[in-house]
């Protein structure tokens, strides 16, 4: 983990850098807020220890600038301060600080705060990885759903067209039979063929409508069926 230290006091900066470097951390120290901002903006640091009072750019404004960037990788910020009290701490938290260390600091206290920061940054990284994996799965499932809907539309379109052609033939031949002299029973049978055929054609048309609009509705038999539909609605 790389740590950026922003501290205008050279002795304090040296103590922080030396203590953390001995623990195996990669440490970079700068002497003012503008240097700290430039170093952080390079994108190398997710952990910042900054003095509250610094020339050119103080710790609070440094925090505000970091939070305004809205990066995917979280930056953990500890402010070093000689100030105390709830008002000061609330002001710093509103600016974006995560934690505080009062100067002069003890080595054990510093290490405890650093361990907390390390743990929280690890949790952020784990959560970000989990979110990335979830987004990937959502994209995959969305693609699968789109493929399934396309297959459904193709199936209904093909099936409906394949059914429509022979049904039109049946109705056409029934209409030809109407032109002949038929017995009463034959006339009744032809009328039944035409009535049933027209009803089947309406169902086929609705299948085509579903395929055309990619609808999830399969309401093929609504209660609005009109039994008085023309028996010669589909002439040759």
What is the rounded distance in angstroms from the CA atom of residue 95 to the CA atom of residue 74? 15
171 lies in the same domain as 191: yes
Give the CATH number, domain containing residue 13.
Answer: 3.40.50.2300
Which residues is 80 bridged to in the sheet?
Answer: 51, 101
Please tell me the predicted confidence (pLDDT) of residue 47: 95
6 lies in the same domain as 55: yes
Please tell me the predicted confidence (pLDDT) of residue 161: 65
pLDDT tens digits, one per residue of 132-159: 777 778 888 888 888 877 777 777 667 6
The residue segments making up the domain with residue 16 are 2-135
Tokens of 124: 């952020």
151 lies in the same domain as 233: yes
Residue 18 lies in a domain: yes
pLDDT beneath 50: ranges in the chain: 215, 217-236
- Is residue 36 within 8 Å of residue 79, measured between CB atoms? no
Residue 15 lies in a domain: yes
Residue 140 lies in a domain: no
Query: What's the mean pLDDT when you consider all of the chain?
Result: 81
Please tell me the predicted confidence (pLDDT) of residue 3: 94
16 lies in the same domain as 108: yes
Which residues is 30 bridged to in the sheet?
Answer: 6
Residue 198 lies in a domain: yes
106 lies in the same domain as 161: no
Please tell me the predicted confidence (pLDDT) of residue 137: 80
Please tell me the predicted confidence (pLDDT) of residue 63: 95
169 lies in the same domain as 129: no
């Amino acid at each position: 983990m790389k740590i950026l230290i922003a501290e205008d006091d050279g002795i304090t900066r040296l103590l922080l850098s030396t203590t953390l470097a001995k623990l195996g951390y990669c440490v970079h120290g700068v002497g003012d807020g503008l240097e700290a901002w430039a170093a952080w903006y390079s994108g190398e640091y997710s952990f910042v220890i900054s003095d509250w009072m610094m020339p050119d750019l103080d710790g609070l404004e440094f925090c505000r600038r970091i939070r305004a960037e809205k990066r995917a990788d979280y930056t953990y910020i500890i402010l070093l301060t000689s100030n105390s009290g709830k008002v000061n701490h609330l002001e710093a938290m509103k600016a974006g600080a995560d934690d505080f260390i009062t100067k002069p600091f003890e080595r054990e206290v510093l290490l405890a705060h650093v361990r907390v920061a390390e743990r929280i940054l690890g949790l952020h990284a784990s959560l970000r990885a989990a979110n990335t994996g979830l987004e990937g799965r959502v994209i995959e499932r969305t693609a699968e759903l789109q493929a399934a809907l396309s297959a459904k539309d193709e199936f209904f379109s093909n099936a409906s067209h394949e059914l429509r052609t022979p049904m039109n033939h049946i109705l056409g031949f029934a209409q030809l039979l109407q032109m002949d002299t038929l017995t009463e029973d034959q006339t009744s049978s032809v009328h039944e063929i035409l009535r049933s055929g027209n009803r089947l054609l309406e169902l086929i048309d609705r299948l085509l409508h579903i395929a055309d609009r990619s609808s999830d509705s399969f309401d093929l038999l609504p209660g609005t069926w009109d039994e008085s539909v023309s028996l010669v609605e589909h002439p040759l």
